[in-house]
Amino acid sequence: MERQASGTKKPNKGNANEIRKKRRQLRKKKNKPRYRKSFKIKRIHFGWWKRRFNIMLDPLKPFERRVLLENPLLKYSAQDDQFVLVLFKIYDMQRVEKEIDKVYKNPYSDTINTLKEIKRSAKEINWKCAICNEPIRSKINEFNTENFLCPLCVETHSKGQFIDERIVHSSVKFRKACEFLYKHQQDTYVRFMRKSERANH
């Protein structure tokens, strides 16, 4: 058997633990969401290159391709490069955390939200307090007193036996505004369906 050199030291348990800790730290760094700061969206309108919404798919990561391929409603929003980059970054963070959930552009607030948040926003519209005219968010399917008052006015006007005349007028206007909104959304939906039918034929 060969003798161990006098200058070498036997590995102890302390050094082995430090090596394991360093390896764990490196693994954590690798698993953290990384985004290419200098990355730019490449668009092309012709040729045989694979593309979606005129965005080339080859330079993209697999999950970025899925974002574009699995969300056909991004057709118009995807024309903005900044919006696409932000969307990719959000998906990257959710993918690493294993909380994969589709996100969309909220048409009510022009922000990027989950489907659950968009549904919540769809049930509310911007309104004004019937007493002090402060901006509030009123629920479309509710017509109680609290729905037309700000938090400060609720304390003084919602507990009385009689309803203030201004609240009644506000509820009538609110009903008409909701009817107009439903009609406008219905017309928009019909136009969208007609466009999609023409595109499929």
Cα 110 from chain centroid (whole Å):
10
Claim: this prediction has a pTM higher than 0.85: no
- 32-77 pLDDT per residue, tens: 545 555 678 888 888 888 888 888 888 888 888 888 888 888 888 8
**Token output for 78:** 């995807």
Q: Which residue ranges make up each domain of the chain?
A: 51-120, 123-196
**Three-state DSSP class for residue 41:** coil
Res 169: pLDDT:
92
- 83-102 pLDDT per residue, tens: 888 888 888 877 766 544 56
**In terms of Cα–Cα distance, which of 168, 174, 107 is closest to 138?**
174
Contact between residue 103 and residue 91 where contact means Cβ atoms under 8 Å apart: yes
Res 128: pLDDT:
92
d(CA 75, CA 18): 51
Burial of 19 (0-12, 13-18, 19+ CB in 10 A): exposed
Q: What is the DSSP letter of 145?
A: G
